[in-house]
Structures are given as C-alpha cells and as structure tokens.
Structure 1
Amino acid sequence: MRVDELPLTLGPYPRGAANAITDVPGVRVGHATIAEGDLRTGVTAVVPDTLGPRRRALPAGLFVGNGYGKLIGATQVVELGAIETPVLLTSTLSAFRVADALVGHVLSWSGYEDVTTLNPIVGETNDGFLSNIRARSVTADHVVHALASAHSGAVEEGCVGAGTGTTALGYKGGIGTSSRLVDVGAHAVTVGVLVQSNFGGVLTVDGVPMPAEELLGHAGVESPGNSCMIVVATDAPADARQLDRVSRRAVFAMGRVGASFSHGSGDYALAFTVAEERPAEDAQLDPLFGATMDAVEEALLNSVLAATTTRGFGGQVAHAVPVDGVRSRLGPR
C-alpha cells in the first residue's frame, strides 16, 4: 500500500510518473537485501548517472536535525557543497565496510585512474531490533549488487535493502520514496525523495494520529536507533547553499508524520541536484521547499505503509500498519 492508493493527496503539487526519486532524470535506485537466519538488513543505493569522468561532483547540501548517527563523508559535503559518489544507505555497524566498498567501486570507473582522493557518502540507521547487527553481515558483494541493480522507474519500498530491518513510529519501517513536479522560476523541475525510516513517535497520517497501541491492540516497537536518512534529488537549478535550505525542509517534514526527534535519533537530510544551469533566485525557491516537504512526508508514510510484519533477531516482531484501521480513522476524503 502507498499513500496514493489510500487514496490521499498531500500538498498542491502533482506527483511524478513513478512517484519516486527516480523521476529525477538520470537518478536510479538499487537494493541488496539480506533476510536469512537472524539477519534483516541490507544496502540501498541512490545513483546519479551524471557523476563520472566529465562531471566528478554534483552540488549538494546537508542538514543535521540531530547528529546521533554516522553519515560518512558529511564534513566534506559541508565544506565543499558537493557529492562525488552515489549515496548508499545501510545498517549502523556496516556503514564503514560499505564506505570502503563504495570507494573501491568508484575508483574502478573508467576515467578515474588518476584519482587519489574520494569522499564516499554512506548513511545508516540502527536495525538491531530485527537483525543481529553485531554480525556486520553487509559485504562488498552486497554493495556491488545494490549498485549494479540500480534502475529507473518504480522503486521497491518497505522491507527491502537498507530498510529490511528498520522500525518506525511503532510499526515496521523501511524504504519509502515519492516525487513532486514544480516550477522554479522558468524551469519545470522534479523533486524526488528516498527515505530510510527508523525513528520513534506516533504515526500521523494527514494530521490524524494512528497510535500503534490502538491500531494493533498492543504496544508497538521503539526503534533502538531512532534515526532517519533522507535523500533529496532534483534537477532544479540550485547551488550548495540553496540545497542546504532544501535539506532543512526535508528534516522539518518528519514532524508531519509524528517523529519524536529523541536524544538517540540521527536525523539527516542530503539534497543534491543534477542540473547544470545557473542557480535560481532565492525568491523563486518556495515551490521547491514546499514540494520537498510534501514528498518527504509521503515517502515517510510510504516506508511504513509498504512494510510487512517482520519477525527477526531473537524472535522479535515489528508489525505492519493495519491499513484498514488507517482508512477508518481518515474517514471520507
């Protein structure tokens, strides 16, 4: 189930064709999923095809809502306002192996034979409630698979890739995505979002609370890491400073779905553009800001609505959102 199947409209801007981050031209997504024994984890890759020998960096911005996390490569993004690699998401204790594998992958690209410095971008959330996180089971092969399988069009959501073992808002969390079409000045642009949800709070859909203890009839789960990774891609003409502003709005949108923003939460948003045109005027960015917040809200809701009940490490269970209960509480729309 997705938000648009409830059906529910969030915000004034139309969705893209796939309603996914892949609606942004040249952006692909791939997953590697590990679901065996006591493991529920994986890797998700966001791959902008414009990166390569001709264009080794893309303008990027970053906002840290709460820094209890491991976003590898963050300081160089802040310093230089650019990303040099695809963006990978994974499990907390596997982030470092994933970063090393990502460096090896990019260094193998044709035209990169002279590269002696590279800043990998790898984010994470803690999937230790459902997965044996200390096993650090993600390997370079999983990274290669996620990158090689990256495709355009519809994106798998819920219990897949880096979202295989996550929980959010009392329910099973996971990967979610959405997109919006807007005008920024004279440019018709796309804003696409992909999230890895793993945070606490009370699920809220279009302003209506959906407490797990009421919809499930028992207490929901509390994420051990209480974190969220948000990746925003666009083809809007923007510079790094403006993308910093976009990424702030992305984290703000977590409040719409009921995030608790707790002490142990690592809430990060990274925004990048594939555009090469001169940046728009700041006064023209309001539609971009609004579309980002709407797309993040929908992607976060999709991440839990698409997830299925999962039993994992130690027999622990994270339950799916009862969609009929959500529909009942929303009432006629």
Structure 2
Amino acid sequence: MPSDPPGPSSTRARARDLGIAPGTLPAGPTNTLTDVPGVRVGHTTVDDGGDLHTGVTAVVPEAVDRPDGRLRAGLCVGNGFGKLIGATQLLELGEIETPVLLTGTLSAFRVADALVTHMIGMPGAHHVRTLNPVVGETNDGFLSDIRRRPVTEDHVLAAIRSAGSGPVAEGCVGAGTGTVALGFKGGIGSASRVVELGGVGLTTLGVLVQTNFSGTLTVLGVPVPADEVLAHPTPHPDGNSCMVVVAVDAPLDGRQLGRLARRAVFGLARVGSDYATGSGDYAVALATSTEPSQVRDEDLDPLFRAALEAVEEAVLNSLFRAHTTRGHHGHVSHEVPLEVVVERCRRAGVLSR
C-alpha cells in the first residue's frame, strides 16, 4: 500500500537552494509543474526498505480529469526504447484525454488498466466505449524487484486522488523511488519558467521529469562524474530512459506542442545525457488553454528557451533531492554529494551567489 516518501528526500536541497539556477528566465512561485494553472501532481510510493522501490506519479490536468475531457498535446520520441502507452493516438490526434501517469516498466500495463478503471468509473462516464490512457515508464529494476510488478490499482487511484496544486514532492518518491541517473540516485524533479509570449502575454511553462538515464552529470556546464566524486561507485545499468512531462498555459496546437516536446528532450543534453541505445527518452507536452490556437511559430522561441532551462533544472532537482538507496540484490545507488557539486561550481565561477 502507499507509504510516505522517506525523510531524506524531503530534506536534501533543491538546485536553487545551492545557488544553482540554470538559465536567465524567472521561475514560477513554486518552481514546479503545478505553477501552470489547472495542473495537479500526486504520488504513491511503494518502498518496503528492501526489494521494492517503485511507485506511481500522476500528472492530472483538470480538463482531462473527467469524461470526454480533451487537451491539445504533442509528443517527442527522442529514442523509442520504451513502453509509452497511448503514444500512437496522441501523435495521430494531437491530444490527450486522460491524466499522464508514470511508473516502472513492467508495471506500466497494470497502471494503464487502472487508469481506464478510474476514467470509466467517473460519474457521467457510462457512455464511454473507447479511451486512450497515457502511461510512461522507466526501468527501476536495478533497485527494485521489477518482476514482482507490485503496483496495484489501489496505488494508481491513490496517486490520482492525492494530486494537488502545491509544491511537488521530488527525489525518491512515486515513479522515481527506484530510478538511477547519471551515475547517481535519480528520481522525480520539477521546475517552471515564466515568459512573455507574443500575442498571449505572461505564460507559465512547467516541467516534471522521471530520471533514469546514463551519461555524466553536468551542472551549469561543469562535469561531476560519479566515478570521481563517489568513494565507492556502484555499477549501474546503461540507458534506462527519461520521461518528461511539459505543461504550458498558452493556446498552442498539437504540432507546436510537438516542437516544444522536442526541446524538452534536447534539454537532457545540458545535464549530460548520453542518449544511450537502451534509453527511452520521451517528452509529452500539453497545453491547458482550450482557447483557439493563436500563437505564431515565430513567437515560440521564449517557450523553447523556457523548456530547455526548466528541464535542466528539473533533472538537477531530481538528483539533488534523492537519497542513497539500497535495494534489490543488495544494489546501491548513491546520492549526489551536494557539497562537492557546490565546490566544483564555485571554482568554475558559475554559482548565482
């Protein structure tokens, strides 16, 4: 059953707490995905302290948390080594009709089934005969006994029902409980940016990431290789994927949201992703505005920049908030030593304070 995230994930610092603020655009009030009006986030963490380190993270736009809800959306498949359920219809129609859920690879199919149960069980959904659940995943099998497929319908429903509009829990929580990224313990991270968008005005873009990919951690352009900064580096699987969810409150169409999703995948390069052959790198971008699309392509640059900056910071938050985890088969994934990161960035002259 659901459990609270372990304490250390809530006490470790976010990037900005350390003076690490990627880019120049301002962040929203909480610097998380929920700064975008009408978007909520919830988690269910499945962590028995031993073999199970997994869970569910639910991104719940209010417009699709009801029967017949629709929001325009776009998808970028940076590398298709993954099991993104619902991808083909999303690409075909340029919209989503359910919340976006994240979990571990072999639990994705059970999560999709539970999401369908949630949607067709809503009041007024008696007429629903087709539905496209959107469920992403990364492989948390290094730390969690993934073959047990421990995520249940109760876990999924709890994540959806717990979704809130406040600050987003990060690190070893929900779908990030058992993930590994850039040689360190990965997890869930989030960030936001506020831009002036031509024809629209002030616009908020938010990002949530589930990090579980290989490469060399890079902080504001400064490499922080795990094999240099950890006393006892533990081998970790290559690749293994990253899911990125982007939300924006501007009236973009599906094609434009696909372009925005591509920038989100590009943003992973800023933190050192090597886009390995076994890594499924996906971004889903959605627009909460249901107004007719009125943004010209030539006005999209501020949003592209916002996506790059927010993805970079969200990935850093996912690692900085995560804590050392010992899991299945005695595997250990170590937390990023924040004091080492700060010292390297200070020597490089890239800290904001």
Give the TM-score taking structure 1 as reference length: 0.98
Count of residues paired in the alignment: 333
**Are 2:264 and 1:240 aligned?**
no
Aligned to 1:21: 33
Q: Deviations over 1:239-265 (max 9, x none)?
A: 000000000000000000000111100
CA 54–313 in structure 1, closer or farther in 2 if over 3 Å, else same: closer
Task: Measure, in 2, the Cα distance between the counterparts of 1:325 and 1:220.
Answer: 18
1:187 counterpart = 2:216:
no
- 1:119-144, Cα deviation, whole Å (9 max, x unpaired): 00000000000000000000000001
Deviations 1:23-58 (A, max 9, x none): 000100000001113100000000001225586210
Aligned: 1:219 with 2:233: yes
Contact 1:30 1:46 in 2 (8 A): yes
Q: 2:312 aligns with which of 274, 278, 297?
A: 297
* 1:36-51 paired onto structure 2 within 5 Å: 36=48, 37-51=50-64
Identity %: 60
Name stretches of at least 5 consecutive residues in structure 1 with no aligned partner. Answer: none
Q: Find the residue that maps to 2:316 and give its secondary structure.
A: helix
Tell me if structure 2 keeps the 8 A contact 1:10–1:206: yes
CA-to-aligned-CA distance 1:239-293 (integer Å, 9 cap, x gap):
0000000000000000000001111000000000111223211111100110011
Deviations 1:39-80 (A, max 9, x none): 000000000012255862100000000000000000000100
Cα distance in 1, alignment partners of residues 330 and 246 from structure 2:
35
TM-score by length of 2: 0.92
Q: Distance in 1 between matches of 2:133 and 2:152?
A: 16
Mapped to 1, the partners of 2:26 and 2:304 lie a distance apart of 14
**Partner residue, 1:281:** 296
| Paired letter, 1:20 | T
Return the alpha-carbon distance in structure 2 between the equivalents of residues 50 and 117 of structure 1: 18
8 Å CA contact 2:183–2:215 kept in 1: the answer is yes
Matched, 1:309 2:324: yes
Q: Secondary structure at the match of 1:50?
A: helix
Preserved CA contact (<8 Å) 1:172 1:321? yes
Which digits, 9 at most, give the CA deviation of each residue in 1:208-236, with x for residues without a partner?
00001111133344235520000001101
Question: Following the alignment from structure 1 to structure 2, what is the Cα–Cα distance between the partners of residues 215 and 53?
Answer: 48
Taking the TM superposition and a 5 Å limit, the aligned residue runs for 1:28-107 are 28-36=40-48, 37-52=50-65, 56-107=69-120
Report runs of 4+ in structure 1 exceeding 6 Å deviation. Answer: none
Residue 229 of structure 1 aligns to which amino acid in structure 2? M
Cα distance change on mapping 1:123 and 1:277 into 2, 3 Å = same
Alignment of 1:326 onto 2:341: yes
- Give the secondary structure class of the aligned counterpart of 2:314: helix
Matched, 1:155 2:175: no
CA deviation after TM superposition for structure 1 residue 111, in Å: 2.1
> 1:216 and 1:98, CA in 2 relative to 1: closer, same or farther beyond 3 A?
same
